[in-house]
Amino acid sequence: MANKDLRQLDTPHTHLISAFLAMESPDCLLSLARVCGGGSVTESVQRFIWDQCIGKAVSEQNGNFYRPYLKRFLKKLIVEVESTGAYVLDEFYEQYATFMISVKDDDMAKGLSRILKWVSFLFPDDCSKSGKLVIPLQCSLNLLEGDTGCSIWPSSLFLSEFILSFPEKFSGKSCFEVGSGVGLVGICLAHVRASKVTLSDGDLSTLANMKLNLDLNQSCLKSGLLEPTREVQCKYLPWESASECELHDIMPDLLLAADVIYDPLCIPHLIRVLSIILRQRKAHSHAPDENFEHLEENIAVAEQAGLSVADLSEEIQVLDLLPYLQSYQRSNVKLFCVSCSS
Ligand SMILES: C[S@@+](CC[C@H](N)C(=O)[O-])C[C@H]1O[C@@H](n2cnc3c(N)ncnc32)[C@H](O)[C@@H]1O
């Protein structure tokens, strides 16, 4: 769906198409569409939405784009434009009529909960790397699917922004991630040329979905949509049963984790895994998290295990590469550096 011609778009139109690809809510899309039209969804903005978003998704994506979402967006769009008394594109009515017949809203209930989204990292003009990086990801509409690992969580968006903001910290380093979910962080690590990237998870369906996403991004690579990346490996690693011997074989320069401390029952197991891996190389771990409920308790447990935890959230200025994602509250995410103190 990424299109080289679209590199010339102005910021509001880039935000609108990026939000559409990331499946932001129809309300969010409408607010971005109004910005494009200087306050209302003008005919030229509607034409853009048809040519670059809805019409394109319907005609080019071979059914990959989640149709109930397109139907909901179209409905909101038509209601919004009609309410201002402005002209509504004929294509909108025609497509909506087709969706009324062909698209049911209960696809989720039938088990069709996997969808394809595109996360676009937009690099500012003054950044050494300009343009955008568009990453397709299959994820679930059900937040709990795959032990929560089949959804994209804000912490991994933030960790990805961190990696892309400071590529030199990761380039040439071997990186290992625990609780990797959909695999977004690993794709960003490969993009900044980490020397070796291994992703892991303790849920088998999450791992299968992660592999699919890595393949998907490899095929985008072949079609020229992404820059060349190194191979990313996946490993089944449930923290409870990971043996010391298995953990000793993992010797990364950097260990990463995003949003993995939400279940108090898993914390002791996670800390055991982190301390074994970190101790052998005295490596550092970067761990963004947005679950602060038991934070002080968790830090105390980590420190008892010989790990020191530093909060880098205020200190490090991570680039805002996802300015169009209204559903992502980056101020709710904290970034910690965990290192081996003993
Ligand atoms: C909230 S999701 C976060 C996924 C991803 N890091 C992100 O931020 O989008 C938590 C992830 O940790 C994994 N996880 C939870 N408990 C685990 C355990 N005991 N062992 C290994 N992985 C676990 C889940 O399968 C899931 O992929």
Q: Are 95 and 55 contacting, i.e. CB atoms less than 8 angstroms apart?
A: yes
Is 155 touching ligand 1 by the criterion CB < 6 Å?
yes
Q: Are 41 and 80 contacting, i.e. CB atoms less than 8 angstroms apart?
A: yes
* Structure confidence at residue 38 (pLDDT): 96
pLDDT over 50 at 289, yes or no: yes
Mean pLDDT (the chain, rounded): 88
Is 285 touching ligand 1 by the criterion CB < 6 Å?
no
Three-state DSSP class for residue 120: strand
Nearest Cα neighbor of 319 from 166, 154, 189 is 166
Is 239 touching ligand 1 by the criterion CB < 6 Å?
yes
Domain limits, the chain? 4-102, 142-340
Q: Are 146 and 206 contacting, i.e. CB atoms less than 8 angstroms apart?
A: yes
Return d(Cα 25, Cα 324) in angstroms, integer.
11
* Structure confidence at residue 130 (pLDDT): 66
Tell me what the mean pLDDT of segment 4-20 comes to. Answer: 84
Query: Which helix (H) or strand (E) segment is 95 a member of?
Result: helix 90-102
* Structure confidence at residue 59 (pLDDT): 87
Q: What is the 3-state secondary structure (H, E, C) of 190-208?
A: HHCCCCEEEEEECCHHHHH
Is 153 touching ligand 1 by the criterion CB < 6 Å?
yes
Q: Atom 14 (ligand 1): residue with closest C-alpha?
A: 179
Q: Atom 12 (ligand 1): residue with closest C-alpha?
A: 179
pLDDT tens digits, 107-138: 555 555 789 999 999 998 766 666 889 999 99
pLDDT tens digits, 210-220: 999 999 998 76
Task: Render 27-49 in DSSP notation, one character per residue.
Answer: HHHHHHHHHHTTSS--HHHHHHI
Q: Are 182 and 211 contacting, i.e. CB atoms less than 8 angstroms apart?
A: no
Three-state DSSP class for residue 335: strand
Higher local confidence (pLDDT), 306 or 327:
327
Residue 257 Cα to ligand 1 midpoint, Å, equals 9
Residue 147 Cα to ligand 1 midpoint, Å, equals 7
Is 186 touching ligand 1 by the criterion CB < 6 Å?
no
Residue 238 Cα to ligand 1 midpoint, Å, equals 9
To 5 degrees, how large is the angle CA 138–CA 140–CA 146? Answer: 105
Is 324 touching ligand 1 by the criterion CB < 6 Å?
no
Instruction: Give the CATH H-level superfamily of domain 142-340.
Output: Vaccinia Virus protein VP39 (3.40.50.150)
Q: Which residue has the tokens 């771990």?
A: 285
Q: Atom 11 (ligand 1): residue with closest C-alpha?
A: 179
pLDDT tens digits, 159-193: 999 999 999 999 999 999 999 999 999 999 999 99
Higher local confidence (pLDDT), 1 or 8:
8
Residue 181 Cα to ligand 1 midpoint, Å, equals 6
Is 162 touching ligand 1 by the criterion CB < 6 Å?
no
Higher local confidence (pLDDT), 126 or 145:
145
Is 156 touching ligand 1 by the criterion CB < 6 Å?
yes
To 5 degrees, how large is the angle CA 229–CA 14–CA 94? Answer: 110
